[in-house]
Structure 1
Amino acid sequence: MIITPKFRGFICTTSHPVGCEYNVRQQVEYVKKQKKINGAKKVLVIGASTGYGLSSRIAAAFGCGAATIGLFFEKPASGNRTASAGWYNSAAFEKIAKEEGIYAKSINGDAFSNEIKQQTIELIKKDLGKVDLVIYSLASPRRTHPDTGEIFNSVIKPIGPAYTSKTVNFHTGKVENITIESANEDEIRQTVAVMGGEDWDMWMDALKKADVLAENAITLAYSYVGPEMTHAVYREGTIGRAKDDLEATAYKITDKLKDIGGKAYVSINKAVVTQASAAIPVISLYVSILFKIMKSKNTHEGCIEQMYRMLEDRVYSGDMKLDSKGRICMDDWEMAKDVQAEVAKVWDKANDDNINDISDVEGYRTEFFKLFGFGFDAVEYSEDVDIEVMVESIK
């Protein structure tokens, strides 16, 4: 089958198995060229198939030499429909790990459910005994509560007045004004239920109760703060309320793990192009401008550079360089005063005529399609490929 990119808004409805494998191999090669990390040896990654979760798994496996179990909720190929990019990414990861003699197994299913939690615990007991690092990197828009059955849906909205700003359609390069109506109390509640800390807490409770956490185990969850210009729709909006809950949960989990010397941290990561971030209005314009500025300063990082640096320079360095709220700040280069001053200056000028000159919107678009395995010069997209690719540990 010859596969071409087909997209609907911020979703690409096709993915390319060869391109996805190439993307994963590039990340693996990056990590293998860096110095080894004296860190985790048995790792659970909850949300392991794309973005920061995938890169965390790669950094742990090929940087630390860790055995990894990865959880995700992805679709295999069916008929003429390609598998999701996360499925192909995970198949490639397991394939490469096997080539390198590194343990890797995966579980596909709803990580919010009690059933998947129990299945994961059984696999840890059987194969690893205990894990010393748990990475929580779920980015789902929807959650079914495992105990009550209530279905929650998250929204990306401001809290308070409606929010009007500009964004860029990265497909067309058009700068557009958008207005987002404010969230009501139930929308806030549901967003916190999906994207806050409750499920992370439930995971850590289940793992501790099952005695599959090693002494001094660390657990990490990911968040974002961003610049003032995006705060209304992000940090001070519904997502921000959920992230506040996530950050508060880190303290709660640390308290529960104190008898085994365990710690929970939230890492504030840099803005990158992921399937999750592409859904957030305004972010595409901000990231396009940010990319150009950070590339010019040679401080730009993608997911893999960020996650390797997090493990090597923070988590296992002996100095996590925590901020006043106890968070790991991997957004330090993004939030540098000179970078943000330049972003703010350019933001006010952005329009249809100058967007390609003052920003890297083409780079944003390229990174978006690479998420789905498209746009790599080394991949021959005119060739017929088999879309039926299996994740080896999932039968």
Structure 2
Amino acid sequence: MLGKMIKIDKKFKGNVARSVNPYGCHQEVLNQIKYVKENGHYDGAKKALIIGGSSSYGLASRITQAFGSGADTISVAFERPIKDETMLGTAGWWNNIYFKQEAEKAGLIAKNFNGDCFTEKMKEQVSEYIKDEFGGKIDLLVYSVAAPKRANPENTDEVWRSQMKPIGKDVTGYNVNLEQDALVEQTIEAATPEEVADTVHVMGGEDWELWVKFLKDQGLLADGFKTILYSYIGSPVTYDFYHEGTLGKAKDAAEESSHRIGKIIEDINGESLISVSKAVTTKASSVIPIFPVYCIALYKVMQEKGTHETPIMHKDRLFRDMVYGNKREIDDHGRLRPDSWELDEDTQRKTLDLMNKITPENFNTDLTGYETFKKEFLQINGFEVEGSNNETVDFDEISKLEP
């Protein structure tokens, strides 16, 4: 018997979604699982902890470990739950629920912790669960966190806030507005030194180090343990507001953290990895200033070349071929480089040529990959998902679900 049916409408504020379709999120999880299973089994992790495992790269990492390698998984993420008929929670809330359902159907353990990964309390809760109910040790930790703020663990009254800004100069350029289907000129002011430092505290590797050290001290890391954090470098046209901006400084700090982590886990034959990712559509990338314009040009070129990837395609290839496979691409800094398809010389030349042709009048035509970018953004929130055409949900049914 059906309960109270409510209609789901797409709602945006700029490039931020204000609505979610839970049934569409379920289908998107199923679609990603199907993709991994079709690629077959590989010998990867068996007990994995994903910090930031509810969406995008973190969710993709969790799915490929579970359904590609048969891993039991734990996810830590901070998602807003369902409140009432007008506030159905976040996409990540539903991703956690439906991933757990599908993993348990496959006979796998899937534990979701919903809360602040930066806190000591969360680290303690996860460690106790690993000891008591997860076999005592993990062999993989993925750190995939994009957070707006973090409390200073030594003084929780001090809160650091991350910023997506250039350093040393203001930057002006076009950006996409998904709400208005418009290309608008935008100026981003240069970050202050304090904003740079705060972003490093939030988006660098400090908390990653704390997690690994905490679990190592508890004796919860298996011999041969691996840990990985995702970075991004991208094209020189994006450097001002990413690689050489506040986020780039944070990623530089994360590389330093990786070296220190490597020494911490050396005695258990551990490996600490930085993987430089491809540009993809995520909640974070959609609001990075000017970045979506680069994406809509890049997507068009990579689709024509047959190299365009969504997060699940990218991370399944990363773990299957590079982390646990024999097809590693490593640069002179020791970083894994699955982004080589994006930075291919011909791909970049064609992308830059296309960017120079984009105007407010033609950006949303067949000239670019705007349609792909917007569709992938909608799919993050359960809309326009292949195999799902639900425009209504059973509120009574979904309100009973727990992660």
Tell me if both proteins adopt one fold, taking TM over 0.5 as the criterion.
Answer: yes
Partner of 1:194: 202
Distance in structure 2 (CA, Å) of the matches to 1:155 and 1:377: 34
> Residue 100 of structure 2 aligns to which amino acid in structure 1?
E
Distance in structure 2 (CA, Å) of the matches to 1:213 and 1:376: 38
Residue 125 of structure 1 deviates from its aligned partner by: 0.8
Match status 1:361 vs 2:359: no
* Number of matched pairs: 392
Q: 1:376 aligns with which of 364, 379, 385?
A: 385
Match status 1:97 vs 2:103: yes
Partner of 2:53: 48
1:164–1:178 CA contact under 8 A, matched in 2: yes
Distance in structure 2 (CA, Å) of the matches to 1:169 and 1:7: 10
1:38–1:316 CA contact under 8 A, matched in 2: yes
Partner of 2:116: 110
Q: 1:178 aligns with which of 186, 191, 215?
A: 186
> Residue 90 of structure 2 aligns to which amino acid in structure 1?
S
Residue 173 of structure 1 deviates from its aligned partner by: 3.7
Q: 1:294 aligns with which of 286, 299, 302?
A: 302
Partner of 2:358: 350
Matched residue of 2:49: which SS?
A: strand
Distance in structure 2 (CA, Å) of the matches to 1:135 and 1:391: 24
Distance in structure 2 (CA, Å) of the matches to 1:345 and 1:175: 18
- Alignment map for 1:311-350 (pairs within 5 Å): 311-350=319-358
Aligned residues: percent identity? 38
Match status 1:120 vs 2:126: yes
1:76–1:388 CA contact under 8 A, matched in 2: no
Distance in structure 1 (CA, Å) of the matches to 2:340 and 2:19: 35
Match status 1:210 vs 2:215: no
User: Are residues 183 and 192 of structure 1, via their aligned partners in 2, closer, same or farther at CA, if it must alter by over 3 Å?
Assistant: same
> Residue 84 of structure 2 aligns to which amino acid in structure 1?
G
Residue 11 of structure 1 deviates from its aligned partner by: 1.4
The list of structure 1 runs, each at least 4 consecutive aligned residues, that deviate by more than 4 angstroms after superposition, is none
Partner of 2:27: 22
Partner of 1:269: 277
Partner of 1:283: 291
Distance in structure 1 (CA, Å) of the matches to 2:357 and 2:393: 45
Partner of 1:166: 174
**Is there any run of 5+ residues in structure 2 with no aligned partner, and where?**
1-5
Provide, for residues 360-390 of structure 1, a one-character-per-residue CA deviation record: whole Å limited to 9, x for no partner. 1111111111101011253233334224152
Partner of 2:141: 134
Structure 2 length-normalised TM: 0.95
- Alignment map for 1:210-289 (pairs within 5 Å): 210-289=218-297
**Is there any run of 5+ residues in structure 1 with no aligned partner, and where?**
none
CA RMSD, 1 decimal: 1.2
1:215–1:262 CA contact under 8 A, matched in 2: yes
Structure 1 length-normalised TM: 0.97
Partner of 2:402: 391
1:14–1:82 CA contact under 8 A, matched in 2: yes
Match status 1:12 vs 2:21: no
Partner of 2:316: 308
Matched residue of 1:205: which SS?
A: helix
